[in-house]
Amino acid sequence: MIGFFFNHRHSREFWLAMEDAHRPLLPARRRNDYEITGRHGTTDFGGETYETRQIPVDIHFISDNVRNLQTVAREIAFWLSRKGLLWFDDEPDKAYDAVVYDAVDTEQLIRTKRATVTFECQPFAKTINFIQRVHTGVSSGHVMDDVFSHGTVPTPARIIITNTGTINTGNIIIKRRALSR
């Protein structure tokens, strides 16, 4: 059965499986419409920003032999009570920054062994542990290879430069270059 990770724990650890996760293709675009007196309609001063995305996940217990469902339900509540990364078994290299704001009906989970957990996520998934190693010798005026993120939205990056040689390095310049698709 397919499941999901949240806060570095898999749903399977709580004897839970995912029945369905409603993951829309795109998050909702943020509206920035204004009415201008004397003009018909509205004017969109938009920009390319998006709202947070809601991902409802239908879960159920995968075992009828779960001892003390009330205790397990409390462990699930504690697991879901903090912010963390959310990723799904069918897309293990992408994660959402997520938090659960809506109440999870523990009585329903105990009674019917089913519930819906709604994660509020940042609009776009991010790549987990994307590492691109570039090994190069150091010489004056040397240009390193390009480093690419193969995502679909602008992505912040952390570049770590490690000197493994014996020569001191300095005057390192990192340039951002826009690439067309």
Residues 102 and 110: their CA atoms lie apart, in Å, by 18
Residue 139 banded pLDDT, cuts 50, 70, 90: low
DSSP 111-155: HHSEEEEEEEE-SS-EESS----------TT--PPP-----SS--
Q: How confident is the model at residue 132, as a pLDDT? A: 63
With a CB cutoff of 8 Å and minimum separation 6, the contacts of 63 are 15
| Higher-scoring residue by pLDDT: 83, 161 | 83
Residue 143: both structure tokens together:
């240009």
Q: What pLDDT, on a 0 to 100 scale, did the predictor assign at position 101?
A: 93
Give, rounded to a whole angstrom, the gap between the first and last alpha carbons of the chain.
37
Range of weakest confidence among 17-21, 50-54, 93-97, 164-168 = 164-168
* CATH class as words, domain 4-127: mainly beta
Neighbours of 124 (CB within 10 A): 17
d(C-alpha 146, C-alpha 95), whole Å: 25
pLDDT of res. 150? 61
Q: 51: Cβ–Cβ under 8 A, 6 or more apart, which residues?
A: 27, 28, 29, 30, 123
Q: Where are the domains of the chain?
A: 4-127
Q: Tell me the pLDDT tens digit for each residue of 87-137.
A: 999 988 889 999 999 888 877 887 888 899 999 999 998 887 666 666 666
Question: Is the pLDDT confidence value at 24 over 70?
Answer: yes
**Rounded average pLDDT over 46-61:** 89
